[in-house]
Copies of this chain bind each other. A is one copy, B any other.
Amino acid sequence: MATIKELAKCCGVSVATVSNILNNKPGASDKTRKLVLEMAEQLNYTPNIVAKNLKMQKTRSIGVIAEDMTIFSIPDIIDGITDYCQKQEYQILLTNLRLFKKYNDTYYNKDDYYELVRQEIKKLMEKQVEGIIYVAAHERVIHCIPENLPIPAVMAYGYSKSRKIPSVVVDDVSGAAAIVTYLLDQGHKKVGVITGKPDSLHAQARLVGYQQVLFQNKILYDPGLVAEGDWTRESGYRCAAELLEKGVSAIFAMNDLMAGGVYDRVEELKQTIGNEISVAGYDDRELSGYYHPPLTTVSLPLHDIGYKASEWMIELLNGGELEHTEDNVCAVECMLLIRKSVKNIK
């Protein structure tokens, strides 16, 4: 833990020379260069980045504010953030809001916690982070980042609805379109849908994807085949019962949990998924791979959202312009994950 001063003294040169050598600047003889480098190794010289940051007025650090680490979507997004930031040698300062633990499932309809976020942003700025990435647990419009923030901010998995704050989200429309297309390709003509809560942006976009595909295939949109779930397995069970009576051959559940509810109902009817009835889910939750049979679903590009958000962040930091799209929203594509729950009935 020697400082640059001590190192200079040991080498019998000035700190300036040491600094130049350590930073690969020209103007030092090979002899002193070698001496200093060796001595640095020997003394286990450890630069003090805090001092460097103060001097440089840069920290190469960004603050990451996560709504709740324990929600399944968050760790993968953060993984994507760390992936890119490590390559770019940026340090992450992590703030975990623990919203779910504090407010349970209700917080994301309220603004109570906006003040909390502002405080945390302030603390992060005092620590001289160069930018802030806010990581939401579910997509929705979130106004907790002040408009006049003097440093760049990016919203991951949520909509800032601000020209100055880019948003990186899931392309739910194309994801839903992909899986419904697959269903039709397998010969299914009458495809029921189990939606999420109607005020959810995810649910709305996924429904649009479904409708688009029907239109492209010249199939009439029958609202009677759209059952309103609430993301829970129970609601999937209930909606499945309803849709099955209407004679659908396949069901698109807007998440894997509700798809599990479909399994429950079908089992109750002594039928089997992938035979009499086909099911597709959404999200690629870990458990869906263990269903019987494994669920065909759509995997969320969570890592890529984090990755993209930090790419955008660092581009901003490097003076990039904010004119990607009109509203600065980047929708990342999902991936279709074909397993065993859909039967080809052609």
Residues of chain A having any CB pair with chain B under 8 Å: 1, 46-51, 53-54, 59, 64, 68-70, 72, 74-76, 78-79, 82-83, 86, 91-96, 98, 101, 122, 125-128, 150, 233, 257, 260, 264, 267, 285-287, 290, 292
For A60, give the chain B residue with the smallest CB separation: B127
What are 24 A-B pairs with beta-carbon distances under 8 A? Answer: A46-B126, A48-B54, A50-B59, A50-B128, A54-B54, A69-B75, A69-B78, A69-B82, A70-B75, A70-B76, A72-B286, A79-B101, A83-B98, A91-B93, A92-B93, A92-B94, A93-B93, A93-B94, A233-B290, A257-B290, A264-B292, A267-B292, A286-B286, A287-B287
List the B side residues contacting A233 at CB < 8 Å. 290
**A98 CB contact (under 8 Å) in B72, B79, B101, B257:** B79
| A109 and B47 alpha carbons, distance in the complex (Å) | 33
| A1 and B151 alpha carbons, distance in the complex (Å) | 11
Closest-CB distance, A306 to chain B (whole angstroms): 10
List the B side residues contacting A1 at CB < 8 Å. 125, 150
Q: Are A49 and B94 in contact (CB under 8 A)?
A: no
List the B side residues contacting A53 at CB < 8 Å. 50
List the B side residues contacting A51 at CB < 8 Å. 54
List the B side residues contacting A47 at CB < 8 Å. 126
Copies in the complex: 2
**With known contacts A54-B50, A69-B79, A82-B98, A91–B127 Cβ distance under 8 A:** yes
**A49 CB contact (under 8 Å) in B86, B128, B260:** B128
List the B side residues contacting A68 at CB < 8 Å. 79
Q: Which of A48, A72, A264 has the most CB of B within 10 A?
A: A48
List the B side residues contacting A126 at CB < 8 Å. 46-49
| A54 and B122 alpha carbons, distance in the complex (Å) | 20
Q: Are A122 and B290 in contact (CB under 8 A)?
A: no
Closest-CB distance, A99 to chain B (whole angstroms): 12
List the B side residues contacting A54 at CB < 8 Å. 48, 50-51, 54
Other A-B pairs beyond A50-B50, A50-B59, A82-B96, 10, CB < 8 Å: A1-B150, A48-B126, A51-B54, A54-B54, A69-B78, A70-B79, A82-B94, A92-B93, A92-B95, A285-B286
Closest-CB distance, A133 to chain B (whole angstroms): 12
Closest-CB distance, A48 to chain B (whole angstroms): 6
**With known contacts A69-B75, A233-B290, A128–B48 Cβ distance under 8 A:** yes
